[in-house]
């Protein structure tokens, strides 16, 4: 009888131990699921922020390119105008020199 009682108590102890381990395992699994979900959310947020940063950098680069192109066009126009003015001035001087050369000398 004592051995049966001992076996029954041992079986009860083993069952309670396993049940406690099972609960701990479930708690650990739940904690792991929660951590994984939080990690996924943080990764999603980081990806969104990286995308926004890339969009902003692209916009800034586009704006800088437009600005540089506008300045380059303005510089080209200015250079063309100065070149035209210099050519006109040279032509005027050539005409004046030709007139002076053709004029009778006194």
Q: What tens digit of pLDDT does each residue of 11-28 get?
A: 767 666 666 666 666 777
Judged by phi (left if over 0) then psi (alpha if -120 to 50, else beta), residue 105 lies in beta
Quick one: pLDDT at residue 104?
A: 73
Q: Measure the CA–CA gap between 18 and 16, rounded to whole angstroms.
A: 5
Q: What tens digit of pLDDT does each residue of 66-83 get?
A: 999 999 999 999 999 999
Q: Measure the CA–CA gap between 91 and 53, rounded to whole angstroms.
A: 56
pTM over 0.85: no
């Amino acid at each position: 009888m004592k051995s049966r009682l001992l076996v029954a108590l041992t079986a009860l102890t083993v069952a309670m131990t396993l049940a406690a381990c099972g609960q701990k395992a479930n708690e650990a699994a739940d904690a792991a699921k929660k951590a994984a979900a939080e990690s996924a959310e943080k990764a999603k947020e980081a990806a969104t922020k990286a995308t926004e940063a890339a969009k902003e950098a692209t916009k800034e680069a586009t704006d800088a390119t437009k600005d540089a192109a506008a300045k380059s066009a303005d510089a080209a126009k200015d250079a063309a105008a100065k070149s035209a003015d210099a050519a006109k001035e040279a032509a005027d001087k050539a005409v004046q020199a030709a007139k002076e050369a053709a004029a009778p000398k006194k």
